[in-house]
Amino acid sequence: DVKVTQSSRYLVKRTGEKVFLECVQDMDHENMFWYRQDPGLGLRLIYFSYDVKMKEKGDIPEGYSVSREKKERFSLILESASTNQTSMYLCASSPAGSSAFFGQGTRLTVV
Amino acid sequence: GENVEQHPSTLSVQEGDSAVIKCTYSDSASNYFPWYKQELGKGPQLIIDIRSNVGEKKDQRIAVTLNKTAKHFSLHITETQPEDSAVYFCAASISSGSARQLTFGSGTQLTVLP
């Protein structure tokens, strides 16, 4: 089975902190994604990557950056966390041309 | 960009009845339409998908229909069971490079009443 693992289930951070969310997949998938999930808004794409060191902006990239130094790992970075970034963050991976497999999610609270 | 609208936002059905969730999309270039089920405390899980060259696909109690002309697609669950209770998301896909970029609907909370 495909496994997408997010490093934390729950995180509480202070406003202004730099936050790292880590995601690892074990199926050698080319593509990896970070989504944000908020009630009534569904899943919104923050960034995605189709290869090592490659990244593309999604629909809501402001306030976020990403890093993909190795094929299996995709990190989401909040340079200076703000309260409006309190949300559920979902990482996903997919092989080329196929659908996405999701991790369990990280619920981030910024206080 | 693509926009996907999903209705209803909440749906309650009696066990054994059918449930239907509908989605519309805006970009005629979209060619892949997956459906995800998200149980409480878990990430979304793919349950069925359909490509634009097919009008209907069925997998046991779950079926998906696609009307490309009208740009809408639907999920049908028959003989619902309490374990079908979850949030369901539709999505539409446009390829960007080699990545299949999904745009999701806002979700439907399905409750199956025993």
Average pLDDT, rounded, for chain A: 93
What confidence tens digit (pLDDT) does each residue in A63-77 have? 999 999 999 999 999
| Structure confidence at residue A41 (pLDDT) | 87
Inter-chain residue contact B89 with A43, CB threshold 8 Å: yes
Tokens 């490093």: give the residue. A7
Q: How many beta-carbon pairs below 8 A join chains A and B? A: 77
| Structure confidence at residue A95 (pLDDT) | 85
**A chain contacts of residue B99, beta-carbon cutoff 8 Å:** 30-31, 33, 48-50, 56, 94, 96
**B chain contacts of residue A102, beta-carbon cutoff 8 Å:** 36, 43-45
What confidence tens digit (pLDDT) does each residue in B21-71 have? 999 999 998 988 999 999 998 999 999 999 888 899 999 999 999 999 999
| Structure confidence at residue A100 (pLDDT) | 87
Residue A81 reports pLDDT greater than 70: yes
| Structure confidence at residue B99 (pLDDT) | 58
Average pLDDT, rounded, for chain B: 92
Inter-chain residue contact A43 with B104, CB threshold 8 Å: yes
Q: What size, in residues, is chain A?
A: 111
| Structure confidence at residue B98 (pLDDT) | 53
Inter-chain residue contact A43 with B98, CB threshold 8 Å: no
| Structure confidence at residue B33 (pLDDT) | 93
Nearest to B42 among A42, A59, A104 (CB): A104
| Structure confidence at residue A42 (pLDDT) | 87
3-class SS at B20? strand
Half-sphere exposure of B8 (CA within 13 A, CB side): 9
Closest CA to B92 of B27, B39, B21: B27
Q: Environment class of residue A84 by beta-carbon count within 10 Å: exposed (0-12), middle (13-18) or buried (19+)? A: exposed
| Structure confidence at residue B97 (pLDDT) | 53
Buried residues in B47-76 as b, exposed as e (16+ CB within 10 A): bbbbebeeeeeeeeebbbbbeeeebbbbbb
Of A19-23, A106-110, B42-46, the one with minimum mean pLDDT is B42-46
